[in-house]
Structure 1
Amino acid sequence: MAEPPAVAPGPLAVGLTTALHRAGLPTTPQRTARLARALQLVLPVDRTALYWTCRVALVTDHAQLPVFDAVFSAVFDGRLDPADRRGDPTAPPSAGARPRVRPSPPDHRPPPGAGEQRAIGLPGAEDGEEGQRDVVLAAASTEERLRHTSFAELTDEELAGLRELVRRLVLSTPQRRSRRTRPTRRRADRLDLRRTVRAAQRSGGDPVRLVAATRRTQPRRLVLLCDVSGSMEPYTRVYLSLLQGAVAVARAEAFVFSTRLTRLTRQLAVRDPDQALARAGATGPDWAGGTRLAEGIGGFVAGHGRRGLARGAVVVVLSDGWATDDPEDVAAAMRRLRRLAHRIVWVNPRKAAPGYAPLVGGMAAALPLVDAFVSGHSLAALEQLAAAVAEP
């Protein structure tokens, strides 16, 4: 009999945690990743090993066991329709009809040289039993499908649900050392003279205790420049939700540009996303027009960047690079921005298209001056953007 198909740990972990989440058991992406790593160490070659691996990785409280056992049994025991074998007196009982008995912990692991990962067969069935058939252990949920689907291919209803997830995406910039200091009890290279003199006044003017100081750390400023021209229209609404979440949570600075640059930080600072997007839409009169990439980036550097907004900041440019400007003007504007910014991340949704290559135009002129180049065409791609922003 042929070997059952291999099941990767990732889809298996995603399918099980999705079912547990729908049943009310708290699951997180971290626990899903932990289970996937555990399944690489303990191969799911039988039900008992799989049960204890999933239980150790996902259950954090004894009160969660009834829900976990029920979902686990429904996922891995209820895979066959009893009607498939109805009327066959010689067929073994279906797995779902057996009483649920919590297995005892296994006393050994599969040998390390077991070879390729195997899918789990029917519960209670030996390798030689007849009637065993291949099963699919995990299927991509609707949320998982939306994570990898391009924003341009989603309907208005799907975009409305996805915008809330995008708004909650955390863009955390790396830390930098500030010029401000704070007292510390640890050994430091700097002496805090002001606090040392103040402490000496309590001991008759003698500096009995020397107060050390260390420089504070604070996150770098985050600046987002979003292209709202006609070629970016399928992605504009989602990107504005990203800008609104960054402004409201990370205190980022937000700008949009098409034929001219417009600052939207104040309009997007409100907590209500619908109100914030309505205020932003009333501010930018040149939306869905042409693209003046050099004028947009150069206007930001001249009007805001040199005044401190771009100095030492992480700058994110969301644009497909299709511009009417001369490529030399785009390169000149990017060089001025490069001298001020700590890091430049470029988000181009066209990057995910098959056969795409930034060979001509403004994108080709700007690409040598960026630190990270991501697509940002889907929710999963925006998570890569968050990782690129957080790099030191």
Structure 2
Amino acid sequence: MTTENTNPAAHGLLRGIDNAAFVTSFVARLRRAGIRVGLTEAQSFSRAMAVSSFADDFETGGPRTRLYWTARVTLVDTYVDLAAFDSVFAAVFEDAVFSLDPPSRRQNPASAAEDRNVTLPAAEGEDEDDTGLPWATLPTVTGIGPDSDSPLSMPERRPSDQVSFADTPFEDFDAGDLRRLDQSLRAALRDWPRRKSRRLRKQARGRRIAMRQTTARARHTGWETVTLIRHGAVIKDRRLVMLCDVSQSMQPYVTAYLHFMRAATLVADGEVFAFATSLTRLTPVLKHKSPEAAIDEASATVGDRFGGTRIASNLRALLRSHHGNAVRGSVFIIASDGWDSEPPQELSAQMARLRRRAHRIIWLNPRAAEPGFVPLVGAMAAALPYCDEFLPAHNVTALDEAIASIGNSR
């Protein structure tokens, strides 16, 4: 019978195999036979298998002939290697008739299940255990022992350290995790939102004509306007201002948030503040080159950490200070669980003032990740109507989502 044009894995020939595993195994046998096959040749063979048509009649052995020439053209570039190549190809495919005959496999499902990983006859000079090829499925996943020389062995798949690190709660971080967090945050904050300022700068493709500069240039051409000077808005990074709660209820997350604040000061030139019962500016402290020294100095600077919480009073103090001008047009981040000792009405009033100044307000609440969380705390409920985003930031994955949200603050 004939089949439609497609790659060999879609038909009886090499049906269901893993293409990369088959190419790797076949190339390994060629190398053991003394044929020099590089990675480029192996890649060419893999690509040729994906695009070649194996639509010949299965009864005449056409697919095997097509595979032979595909492998020979892509893997052999020296005439003296042809004899060795023919020997290896014959050893691999001469007795593999069942794989070229799909009807016979469909007639006997039991035998098909038994032959999912076919063991071929060993070539001359090879061990019996090294001749298997992954015909129907991937080979069994086994760990590679220290004394194992089998080219068909596959490493045992284990969970990635990065995945484990990303899903670990901040309260379970050790010193090594915190160093990795610092590097990860600094890399993630590279893509920072930008905005047009009101300042104008000379630009060759500016949309506006700079009348003063154009007139001054015309003085040298008899007041004839020969050259138009154009200008456009200056593009600058959008300012980030972060206010972090360091009270007792936020103790498990403070160190991780301080690393986030340090990355914001180094990469985004942000203004960062910590608060519990009073407000403390940490921007100059967190610019230290050493992460450990910066965090230790910041912890020593905040004298009221792990105490009570006064969100509204500290927000008022920030907006009234000369640092309040940095809030205008900024991305303002508040990291707090919303537990406040002051009346919710005061926080609502300060959030309304903040809403008129900031470009975007993002509230990070690590408690929001808990199952069944509902923002019923008075302060949290009063602040939510003024927030653009309300996000949990209890681990690295959630913090990355928060950074992505900051990146969308155009």
Could you say which TM-score interval applies, normalised by the shorter chain?
0.5 to 0.7
- Give the Cα–Cα distance (whole angstroms) in 1 for the partners of residues 241 and 309 of structure 2: 19
Aligned residue number for residue 9 of structure 2: none
Note closer, same or farther for the CA distance 1:356–1:192 as it changes in structure 2 (3 Å cut): same
Q: Offset of 1:308 from its aligned partner?
A: 1.5
**Deviation for aligned residue 1:168:** 4.2
1:254 matched to which residue of 2? Answer: 272
2:213 equivalent in structure 1: 195
Tell me: CA distance 1:279–1:159, structure 2 relative to 1, closer, same or farther (3 Å).
closer
The aligned counterpart of 1:153 is 172
Residue equivalent to 1:349 = 366
Match of 1:386 among 385, 396, 403: 403
1:167 CA drift (Å): 4.5
Runs of 4+ in 1 over 4 A off after TM superposition: 49-52, 95-101, 131-138
Partner of 1:285, secondary structure, is coil
Deviation of 1:126 (Å):
3.6
The 2-side partners of 1:51 and 1:195 are apart by 70
Conservation of the 8 A alpha-carbon contact between 1:254 and 1:263: yes
Deviation, structure 1 residue 378: 0.9
Cα distance between partner residues in 2 of 1:51 and 1:206: 76
Of the three residues 30, 33, 50, the one matched with 1:107 is 50
Higher RCO (Cα < 8 Å, 6 or more apart): 1
Indicate yes or no: 2:332 matched with 1:315: yes
Residue 303, structure 1, aligned to residue 321, structure 2: yes
| Native 8 Å contact 1:173 1:314 kept in 2 | no
CA 1:182/1:137 → structure 2, altered by over 3 Å: closer, same or farther?
farther
**1:41 corresponding residue in structure 2:** none
Report the CA distance shift for 1:339/1:171 in structure 2 as closer, same or farther (over 3 A): farther
1:205 CA drift (Å): 3.4
**Counterpart-to-counterpart distance in 2, 1:216 and 1:282:** 39
Which stretch of the first structure deviates more once superposed, 157-166 or 360-369?
Answer: 157-166
Q: Contact conserved, 1:172 with 1:389, CA < 8 A, in 2? A: no
Does residue 143 (structure 1) correspond to residue 162 (structure 2)? The answer is yes
Residue 312 and residue 198 in structure 1: after superposition, are their counterparts in 2 closer, same or farther (change >3 A)? same
- Structure 1 residues 40-69: Cα deviation after superposition (integer angstroms, max 9, x where no partner): xxxx953216899xxxxxxxxxxxxxxxxx
The alignment of Structure 1 onto Structure 2 pairs a total of residues equal to 295
- Aligned-partner SS, 2:404: helix
Per-residue Cα deviation, 1:367-388 (whole angstroms, up to 9, x for no partner): 1211111111111111111111
Cα gap change, 1:133 to 1:222, in 2 (>3 Å): same
2:19 counterpart of 1:48: yes
Report the CA distance shift for 1:45/1:292 in structure 2 as closer, same or farther (over 3 A). farther
User: C-alpha deviations, 1:313-339, integer Å up to 9, x for none?
Assistant: 100111111111111111111111011
2:239 aligned with 1:239: no
Report how far residue 354 of structure 1 moved: 1.3
* Unaligned 5+ runs, structure 1: 1-43, 53-72, 78-94, 110-120
Is 1:230–2:227 an aligned residue pair?
no
**Whole-angstrom distance in 2 between the partners of 1:328 and 1:169:** 36
For residues 246 and 51 of structure 1, the distance between their equivalents in structure 2, rounded to whole angstroms, comes to: 49
For the pair 1:186 / 2:195, whether they are aligned, the reply is no
2:195 aligned partner: 176
Corresponding residue of 1:86: none
Aligned counterparts of 2:258 and 2:176: Cα–Cα separation in 1: 17
SS of corresponding position for 1:389: helix
Q: CA 1:172 to 1:311, structure 2 compared with 1: closer, same or farther past 3 Å?
A: farther
Q: Unaligned 5+ residue runs, structure 2?
A: 1-14, 32-36, 53-115, 118-131, 143-154
- 1:104 alignment partner, SS class: helix
C-alpha distance in 1 between matches for 2:220 and 2:310: 64
* Aligned equivalents of 2:21, 2:211: Cα separation in 1: 62
Q: Residue 327 of structure 1 contacts residue 362 of structure 1 at CA under 8 Å; is this kept in 2?
A: yes
Q: CA RMSD in A?
A: 3.2
Query: 2:346 is matched with which residue: 304, 314, 329?
Result: 329
Question: How much does 1:215 deviate?
Answer: 1.3
Q: Could you give the per-residue CA deviations for residues 102-149 of structure 1, whole angstroms, max 9, x where no partner exists? A: 34323349xxxxxxxxxxx8682344x9x9768898532122201111
Report the equivalent of 1:63. none
State the identity %. Answer: 36
In structure 2, what is the equivalent of residue 37 of structure 1? none
CA 237–96 in structure 1, closer or farther in 2 if over 3 Å, else same: farther
Residues 265 and 51 (structure 1), Cα distance of their counterparts in 2 relative to 1, 3 Å cut: farther
